[in-house]
Chain A
Amino acid sequence: MGLIRDVKVLTGGRDWRGRSRTPRSAAAHEPPEPPREFPTGWARTQVAQAARRALQRGVLTPLTWSQTRPEVQGRERLDALKGPVVFVANHSSHLDTPLILGSIPAHLSKRVAVGAAADYFFDARWRAAVTALVFNAFPVERHRSRRLRSLAPYLLAKGWSLLLFPEGTRSEDGWMSPLRLGAAHLCVTQGVPIIPIALRGTYAAMPRGRNWPVPGRARVVVRYGTPLHPAEGEGARAFNVRVGESITQLWAEEDLGWYGSLRAQARGELALPSGQQYPTGSWRRTWESTRPLVDRAPRRAWRS
């Protein structure tokens, strides 16, 4: 009886893993998290690569393509490129990574690692293991905290191309945030080119908070830009500005067309699509960002 009573008192207020929530008044006194680095080296072994290829080609890409209508543009710009490179894209949905991984040209797609938020994807071991296996993800510290030494330079040195989302997190409302310097700095110091990518329609197809795309196979666009090489003596800030301008132009291409977006950029009419024309908190921000992309494909002559 005593044991049962002790167990009841002990487990009261704890979850099935025996964890207690931190009392509110103790929240400011939480211990600093011990450095904990999830090893990802195993996910780059031959066996893991083969498993990943099977998972991506057999499950992930078909599933993504079945739930959305992806339109991939500008892939030919990568034809002459050899790895490693850094793919940099805007980020507003969990669809972004599968869409990019499923659309990267074959000669680059075999060796791509994805930077994933350490505090989100690597906080639980099971999630870290799945993320590392399926996406070849490696942890990225996004709060400038403390602990992890970035794996990115090491991976580039080993010939892995990287996919990074320099906004640092998925967009809250579908619009873009300023690009952080990390990716540009990495490319400037390592001397590798950046491939800018603009993703349109992914927020409307699967916004934050959803774990499955909206019904109806929403149209999404993956648009690859011209590779950008850091110029001789160019600093990370200047290079980052160029990357931002390139993504902005690719974003506008959806609305203005290729030539129209180039002209608009030449006239200085383009700015990072941060939705600043809509006041913060306005319903119109979300309304506009969830607007389905206009279907530009020619009508099919024959319908079944």
Chain B
Amino acid sequence: MSRPGFVLEVDERTPALLMHEGEGFRLEKLPLGSRVIYPPESLPGLRDLDAHIRHALANPLGREPLHELLRPGMRLTIVFDDLSIPLPPMRTPDIRQRIIEQVLELAAAKGVDDVELIAGNALHRRMTPAELKRTVGERVFRSFFPRHLRNHDAEDKANLTEIGQTRHGEVVEINRRAAESDLIVYVNVSLTAMSGGPKSVSVGLASYRSLKHHHNVHTLRHSKSFNDPPNSAMHHSYNRMAGLLDESVNIFQIETTVNNDTFPDYVGFLNKREWEWNLKDQASYLAVKRANDLAPPKQRRQIWHRTAAPYGVTSVTAGDPIQVHEVTTRHVLRQQLTEVDGPADIGIFGLPYICPYNVNSIMNPILVMSLGLGYFFNLYRGQPIVRPGGVAIYYHPVRNEFHPVHHPSYIDFFEEVLAETTDPVAIETKFEEQFATDPWYIHLYRNSYAYHGVHPLYMWYWGAHALEHLGDVIFVGGNRKTTARMGFRSASTLDDALEMARERVGGSPSINYLHAPPLTMADVR
């Protein structure tokens, strides 16, 4: 039986608490009275996963069983979430592999020959063959790669189809092969409440023309939060698009959720509450921390990115995308949601080494901003854990380093755009089209492994709601120049950060710390 989440009030008994800080972690003694938001303990994973998958495919919600939807001569397209989720990547065999293999078994039994597998990577970088193989497994990879197992190409005009426009004038344009298929089977992993459901096909297989209707400053500023779909303008847009898609394409959605077993046993202390650490946990904390701090940066990053999460799968649901997603969201919230009594003057967030856009890559400053002010800040329902005009304190070194292959447009965005302005609206107005249509960026996106040219701007918009909401942003341990370039401040220690925050929130502010690891979502009343 997993214990529910709760809010800890730091008292004199409370030991130093764990927090991420990039490719490392630390223990930090928080001021007395600070509130710490812990998620429910990791839920037990499903025991016989293959049996659950079989059951879900045979008993879908609002659809006929999958084997009844398959017939010889049909065009079947299997789309799966790309490497941006789950984070960290899960231990093999990936849940997507297990599901796709069962779908293909059924398709083979029904004599379906025309099968394509597409990674729903939208404007993300293409997955490498090794990454594809890791996700779908050896057997699927050997049978379909490279001709029938590929990445979605949002700039391949010939292979995009405009489905139509929503009543709000939003263009829905998706991958042609998928649009012209008799059946799309979408295989999803929902790590947060924002993913899955109507977002899957309408975003994963879309083009820039389509994405710009919801990936913009206005929509994101009115998504409060984008992890709370009923109150997210972004999800309202997804829903309209999905409604349109529903009229013309047949989607069989398979969604899964995972528990909070984010780290393997040898760093088991990362998954435990600090006052419950035994001697072994403390010894492994010291050993791992010292080894991590002393390791050369490159090796350190490699080790972290090679770490695979021993997630347990907590649900597998198949059928109609809307009905399935209701179940999925319930499972996500069951694992992550903790009720919090009101926001505080200061919110503290420890940022990890990984975000959806730097798997096997480098977490550059723009991604740090997107992770902190976008993803972590938006891990709430109701209202943010920081009051309007309050201060967010993040832990991350914010190094000025970029992956030149994966993030070429990020470098230009950081050096040229942010040098001129950090205002999301100004950036959107002046620079978006230039970055989105730059032929070199498009070339790199299509032929190399680069994120789309417009992606860094989207990342900046991702934090637009937080930028508008917060009075100040301070990075503990952050590089001064890079944080200053982004319009933020850096502090050496938490005490310094609290001192710097005084001018905004006074000398005895209330503090909320969103405990991470693992992933926590605050239900702020």
List residues of A whose CB falls within 8 A of some B CB. Answer: 2-3, 6-7, 9-14, 17-18, 20-26, 28-29, 31-32
What 0/1 pattern do residues 477 to 520 of B give for CB contact below 8 A with A? Answer: 00000000000000000000000000000000000000000000
Asked if B6 and A26 sit within 8 Å, CB to CB, the answer is yes
Given known pairs A18-B277, A18-B282, the reply for A23 and B14 (CB within 8 Å) is yes
What are 18 contact pairs spanning A and B, CB under 8 A?
A: A6-B290, A9-B16, A9-B29, A10-B282, A12-B15, A13-B16, A14-B282, A18-B277, A20-B13, A20-B274, A20-B277, A21-B13, A23-B9, A24-B11, A24-B13, A25-B6, A26-B8, A29-B3
CB-based contact A29/B13 at 8 Å:
no
Q: Considering the chains assembled together, what is the distance between the CA atoms of A17 and B280 in angstroms? A: 11
Contact of A31 (CB < 8 Å), options: B3, B274, B289: B3
Which residues of A lie under 8 Å from residue B13 when comparing CB positions?
13, 20-24
Q: Of all chain A residues, which has the CB nearest B3? A: A29
Query: Which of A17, A24, A29, A31 lies in contact with B6, CB distance below 8 A?
Result: A29
Candidates B1, B10, B26, B286; contact of A3 at CB < 8 Å:
B286
A212 nearest CB across to chain B (Å): 32
Q: Which residues of B contact A23 (CB under 8 A)?
A: 8-11, 13-14, 275
A6 near B286 (CB under 8 angstroms)?
yes
Q: How many A-B residue pairs have CB under 8 A?
A: 72
B285 within 8 Å of A (CB atoms): yes
Residues of chain B lying within 8 A (CB to CB) of residue A28: 6
**Inter-chain contacts of B415 with A (CB < 8 A):** none
Does B295 touch A at the CB level, under 8 Å? no
B156 within 8 A of A: no
Q: How far is the CA of A18 from the CA of B28 in the complex (A)?
A: 17
Q: How far, in angstroms, from A32 to B276 measured CA to CA in the complex?
A: 12
Contact of A12 among B11, B16, B289 (CB under 8 A): B16
Q: B105: CB under 8 A from chain A?
A: no
B27 touches A26 (CB 8 A): no
How many residues in B have their beta carbons less than 8 Å from beta carbons of A?
31
Please, which residues of chain A bring their CB within 8 A of the CB of B15? 10, 12-14, 20
- A188 and B26 CA atoms in complex are apart in Å by 60
Q: Which residue of A lies closest to B9 (CB)?
A: A25
**A23–B6 alpha-carbon span in the complex (Å):** 12
Chain B residues with CB under 8 Å of A13's CB are: 12-16
Measured in the bound complex, the distance between the Cα atoms of B14 and A14 in whole Å is 9
CB distance from A128 to the nearest CB of B (A): 19
A11 surroundings in chain B (CB, below 8 A): 282
Q: Chain A's nearest CB lies how many Å from the CB of B164?
A: 51
Which residues of chain B are near A7, meaning CB under 8 Å? 286
Please classify the interface of chain B as helix (H, G, I), strand (E, B), loop, or mixed, using the class held by over half of its residues: mixed
Question: Is B275 in contact with A31, judged by CB distance below 8 angstroms?
Answer: no
Seen from chain B, the residues whose Cβ lies within 8 Å of a Cβ on chain A are 1, 3-4, 6-16, 26-29, 273-279, 282, 285-286, 289-290, 293
Question: B14 — which chain A residues lie within 8 A by C-beta?
Answer: 13, 23
If A6-B289, A18-B278, A25-B11 are given as contacts, then 13 extra A-B residue pairs at C-beta distance below 8 Å, sorted by A number, are: A9-B28, A9-B29, A10-B15, A10-B286, A12-B15, A18-B282, A20-B15, A20-B276, A23-B14, A25-B8, A26-B273, A29-B6, A32-B1
Report chain A residues within 8 Å CB of B7. 25
CA–CA, A14 and B29, complex, Å: 13
- Complex partner residue of A21 from B3, B8, B273, B275, CB under 8 angstroms: B275
A26–chain B nearest beta-carbon distance, Å? 5
Residues of B near A32 (CB, < 8 A) are 1
* Cβ B9 vs Cβ A9 within 8 A: no
Closest to B7 in A: A25
In the bound complex, CA of A18 to CA of B285 (Å): 13
Q: Which residues of chain A are near B4, meaning CB under 8 Å?
A: 29
CB distance from B493 to the nearest CB of A (A): 12
CA distance A18 to B13 in the complex (A): 13
Task: Kindly provide the distance from the CB of B3 to the nearest chain A CB, expressed in whole angstroms.
Answer: 6
A-B pairs, top 7 by smallest CB distance, nearest first, are A20-B275, A21-B13, A25-B9, A23-B14, A20-B15, A13-B15, A18-B279
Please give me the residue from chain B that is nearest to A28 by CB atom: B6
Q: List the B side residues contacting A17 at CB < 8 Å.
A: 279
Asked whether A2 lies within 8 Å of B293 as measured between CB atoms, the reply is yes
Instruction: Please measure, in the bound complex, the distance between the C-alpha atom of A34 and the C-alpha atom of B1, giving whole angstroms.
Output: 12
> Would you give the shortest CB distance from A9 to chain B, in whole angstroms?
5
Query: Do A24 and B3 touch (CB < 8 A)?
Result: no
A87 and B279 CA atoms in complex are apart in Å by: 42
Contacts of B286 in A (CB 8 A): 3, 6-7, 10
**Other-chain residue from A2, A10, A22, A26 in contact with B16 (beta carbon distance below 8 A):** A10
User: Nearest CB to that of A29 among chain B residues?
Assistant: B6
B333, chain A: closest CB distance, angstroms: 19
Nearest Cβ in chain A — how far from B169, in angstroms?
50
- B residues near A24, Cβ cutoff 8 Å: 9, 11, 13
Provide the bound-state CA to CA distance between A20 and B29, in Å: 14
* B279 engages A26 (CB within 8 Å): no
A31 near B276 with CB under 8 A, answer yes
What is the CB-to-nearest-CB distance from A283 to chain B, in angstroms, rounded to a whole number? 35
Q: Which residues of the other chain, B, contact A10 by a CB distance below 8 angstroms?
A: 15-16, 27, 282, 285-286
Residues of A within 8 A of B27 (CB): 6, 9-10
Output the least CB separation between A124 and chain B (Å).
15
The complex places the Cα of A11 from the Cα of B281 at a distance, in Å, of 12
Among residues of B, the one whose C-beta sits closest to the C-beta of A17 is B279
Q: Which of A7, A9, A10 has the most CB of B within 10 A?
A: A10
Q: How far is the CA of A10 from the CA of B282 in the complex (A)?
A: 7
Q: How far is the CA of A163 from the CA of B6 in the complex (A)?
A: 44
Q: Please measure, in the bound complex, the distance between the C-alpha atom of A20 and the C-alpha atom of B4, giving whole angstroms.
A: 21
State whether A12 touches B277 (Cβ < 8 A).
Answer: no
Collect the chain B residues with CB atoms within 8 Å of residue A3's CB.
286, 290
* Assembled-state Cα–Cα distance A2/B292 (Å): 12
Residues of B within 8 A of A6 (CB): 27, 286, 289-290
Q: How far is the CB of B49 from chain A (nearest CB, A)?
A: 26
CB distance from B274 to the nearest CB of A (A): 7
- In the complex, what's the smallest C-beta–C-beta distance from B242 to chain A, in angstroms? 39
Q: Given the complex of chains A and B, what is the CA–CA distance between A9 and B27 in angstroms?
A: 7
CB distance from A64 to the nearest CB of B (A): 38
Nearest Cβ distance between residue A68 and chain B, in whole angstroms? 41
Whether A22 pairs with B275 at a CB distance below 8 angstroms is: yes
Known: A6-B290, A18-B282, A26-B273. A12 touches B9 (CB 8 A): no
